Amino acid sequence: MGVVGVLSSNGVAVCAWFKISGGCAIEYNTCIDEVEFTLGGRTNGFDFVATEEGLEQFIEVGTEALRALRARTAEREAAERDGVELDDLAG
């Protein structure tokens, strides 16, 4: 996980990234009109908040990404079985 802060002329803008691996603790808490997610634990993790509409969009795009990732994995596994160089599949 990592976080980068960027100073802008209007104050502070924050850019952040995180990587979720298998076994990562993921918790959520529902609020009035939002849901808060905690990744990796309350004291050393990463939090993000989404509205219902935002969460719906995130899940939709995440589902597409999961399908694409699984297709890419299947393609790489097939190439390995066929003896194709993995560099040939880049891009």
CA distance 41 to 24: 9
Q: Give the pLDDT score at 30.
A: 96
pLDDT digit string, tens, across residues 8-34: 656 666 677 888 999 999 999 999 999
Q: Give the pLDDT score at 89.
A: 52
Q: Is the pLDDT of residue 2 over 60?
A: no
Q: Give the pLDDT score at 84.
A: 79
CA distance 53 to 63: 15
> Secondary structure of 8-30 in the HEC alphabet?
ECCEEEEEEECCCCCCCCEEEEE
pLDDT digit string, tens, across residues 31-84: 999 999 999 987 888 888 999 999 999 999 999 999 999 999 999 998 888 887
Q: Give the pLDDT score at 1.
A: 45
**Two structure tokens written together for 71:** 């297709």
In terms of phi and psi (left: phi > 0; alpha: psi -120 to 50; beta: otherwise), the region of 31 is: beta
Does the pTM of the predicted model rise above 0.75? no
Question: Amino acid identity of 22?
Answer: G
